[in-house]
Amino acid sequence: MEKLLILDFGSQYTQLIARRVRELNVYCEIHPYDKLSNLDVDSFMGVILSGSPFSVRDENSPKPDLASIKGKKPLLGVCFGAQYMADVYGGSVLPSKIREYGRANLSYVNKENILTKGMSDNSQVWMSHGDTIKDAPAGVEIIASTTDVEVAGFHFKGEETYGIQFHPEVYHSKEGSILLKNFVVGICGFSQDWTPDSFVESTVDELKSKIGNDKVVLGLSGGVDSTVAAILLHKAIGENLYCIFVDNGLLRKDEFTSVLEQYEHLGLNVKGVNAKDKFYTALAGISEPEAKRKAIGKTFIDVFDEEAHLISDVKWLAQGTIYPDVIESISVNGGASQTIKSHHNVGGLPDYMKLQIVEPLKLLFKDEVRRVGRAMGLKESLLGRHPFPGPGLAIRILGDITLEKVQILQEVDHIFIKGLKEANLYDDVWQAGAMLLPVQSVGVMGDERTYEKAVALRAVESTDGMTADWCHLPYEFLAKTSNEIINRVKGVNRVVYDISSKPPATIEWE
């Protein structure tokens, strides 16, 4: 299979490079820079070096040996990647007199060079750097400049090695997609045949080869990710897939019953397990967010282990893990990027659980998962369902978890989601939910003073959950929803709307 290597130096934009490449129907993989020596470089048709939070002048900055790549494979350095090549191969990188961050315009573009061919004069690009390339290495031609940065793009003559100071993967680089296509298709020679259909075919073949006649147990959540993973596995191993849908007591109102009914129509072998009491016991008295996530994750594994023992000869545990889960849970290069929060379905299994993990979606973003589901014929009503966190309502209840709090939040959430659907707003929102806050506020109902709970409504627009912006829901809708929640949900007397974006906030509150 044709594939592109993205060498990650810890940039916040690395995953965005991958998404932009995949939008060109080209398969790519992200690997940490310090694992380069472990990779079969010959299996990749080209390499992109990412940006980084480091400066090339930092003593502890990444310093990979590019001898196996430069001059032998098409190579594109982005921001730090470009500066690193300039520094290593005889140029000089110094602190910028004026730190360039944000929108800039190219004052010069070499339209004859294959990398920048088709780009416009004065093309808007996105800069994010505190250093600048003062002197380009010998044998380099400058192919792009801005008013403040002469070496905004360069090419090592006689080889397919390029560097750019700006970020073509970011939306604000208006013609970034042209540059990336020039590199990926024009220079690397990719055939652009990595499509949802091809992913299904290759993944099913890989699963057949990997699993053989073994039995697999899969934890279903009712969401898009686990459902698409289940259908892929079902195509590969059929009746050897055993699906378990666990009621952890933290689902939405009536979700356990409705999800089981949904799966009846997909031909999957599904067993519903009521494990509410186990989860409530595990969460008793725990308020810290990470502690709650870990308690839920451990309990999930315990439940799966118990259920797996009821099925003879199960050897695999399948999970609907997707790429953003992995990115946020594990520092991809051992330090250059930051761990945000753990996910209950990411990481290794305890020694006592003798199951291997299979994660058919772990390199896909959410929008890619939906496209794969669509290619397999899944209904739009299922594919368009909002993401729901694995730990469920536990991370939407700030503080400790009790049955009373869960029931209150279930009712609030039900009114909010039902209202979005009735107002034809549901499909305009990527994810929505309600948070039960650990505060009480004074209110008045009739002639009586109340002192009850406050809830926050959250609705965001996003593509894959890596970044998100709050939805500008109509005031009339918010007013109606607030009024209905306060009138119908006993114990709530105040509703607020969260207008934070990610970053700096996360989508969930915990």
At 236, which amino acid appears?
A
Strands 140-146 and 431-445: unpaired
Report the alpha-carbon distance of residue 30 to residue 194 in Å, rounded.
Answer: 16
- Among the listed residues 79, 188, 243, 471, the single catalytic one is 79
Q: Is 457 left (phi over 0), alpha (psi -120 to 50) or beta?
A: beta
Looking up tokens 């600048």, which residue turns up?
132
- Among the listed residues 150, 169, 368, 411, the single catalytic one is 169
Neighbours of 479 (CB within 10 A): 11
Neighbours of 490 (CB within 10 A): 11
Helix (H) or strand (E) holding 243: strand 241-247
Instruction: Report the sign of the C-alpha dihedral through residues 500, 505, 506, 508, in that order.
Output: negative
Say whether 167 is catalytic: yes
Say whether 79 is catalytic: yes
Answer yes or no: are the C-beta atoms of 49 and 73 closer than 8 Å: no
Answer yes or no: are the C-beta atoms of 233 and 207 closer than 8 Å: yes
Say whether 255 is catalytic: no
Answer yes or no: are the C-beta atoms of 480 and 469 closer than 8 Å: no
Report the alpha-carbon distance of residue 456 to residue 452 in Å, rounded.
Answer: 14
Instruction: Report the sign of the C-alpha dihedral through residues 414, 417, 421, 423, in that order.
Output: positive
Answer yes or no: are the C-beta atoms of 236 and 287 closer than 8 Å: no
Looking up tokens 């001059």, which residue turns up?
71
CA atoms within 13 A of residue 387's CA, in its CB half-sphere: 28
Answer yes or no: are the C-beta atoms of 54 and 130 closer than 8 Å: no
- Among the listed residues 129, 167, 234, 414, the single catalytic one is 167
Looking up tokens 């839920």, which residue turns up?
296
Going by C-beta distance under 8 Å and a sequence separation of 6 or more, which residues neighbour residue 384?
Answer: 370, 426, 427
What is the three-class DSSP state of 245? strand
Please state the three-class secondary structure of 427-449 as a single string: HHCCEEEEEEEEEEEEEEECCEE
At 504, which amino acid appears?
P
CA atoms within 13 A of residue 505's CA, in its CB half-sphere: 14
Query: Which residue numbers are catalytic?
Result: 79, 167, 169
